[in-house]
Amino acid sequence: MQINKALIWAEHKLKKIKTASLDAEILLSHALNKQKSFLYTYPEKKLTPSQFVRFDKYVSRRAENEPAAYITRHKEFYGLDFKINKYTLIPRPETEHLVEKILKNKKIKTIADIGTGSGCIAIALAKNNPGLKIYATDISAKALAVAKKNTKLHKIKNITFKKGNLLEPLKNTKLDALAANLPYLSEKTYKKNYEQLKYEPKNALLAGKDGLDCYKKLFSQINKLKYKPKYIYIELI
């Protein structure tokens, strides 16, 4: 099957998904181990049998609502490529606004990214402001392992990782600012959207009955700090 026909075939199989066209491109690029531009430079190039088998598997997984980012194990965020897996949340485009707000504040010299996950916020900050001193915490050792791989991928050296519950590893650290994109879904919202969310780590999404458990805990910890940050950046919907 030719590349252009493979894309049409995949779009048809994914017709119930809003991003069918984009997902078909992402998955075929991944199956071929090529950039997306390759698909349109060589539209009549035929897939080898093994390439099509691989592509077919990816499309079938996506048809079951598994996010393309988990299939490819990559996701772009703030113009950077990040490794992700089932232990990390998929970086959202909306979170880029959080990074933009922080970068505009030139008074910040030291910041902590609380609940770093894949490390996308901390790494985007470090890449765009190498002078920042950054700490990143997460309760999940497996998520921190992914974040550390991403720092190596982007050759970042100004991030210190700490394992622990929110601010606990940094309770005696002087910070100018905190950034936190913590779990904020209520039980009702999580259940309602389960089919779209079931592949992502539950503990990175669900935050109790009202969705505020993690932020209540965070602000309780902030109140007990000896050195309180001047700026707090959080993401909520």
Tens of pLDDT, residue by residue over 82-97, are 999 999 999 999 999 9
Residue 226 burial (CB < 10 Å; 0-12/13-18/19+)? exposed
Percent of the chain past pLDDT 90, that is, above it, reads 86
Output the average pLDDT for the chain: 94
Distance between terminal CA atoms of the chain? 44
Q: Give φ, ψ of 89 to 5 degrees.
A: -70, 150
Nearest partner of 148 among 159, 164, 140, 132, judged by Cα: 159
pLDDT at 113 over 70: yes
Q: What's the rounded Cα separation, in Å, for the pair 17 and 26? A: 14
pTM of the entire structure? 0.90
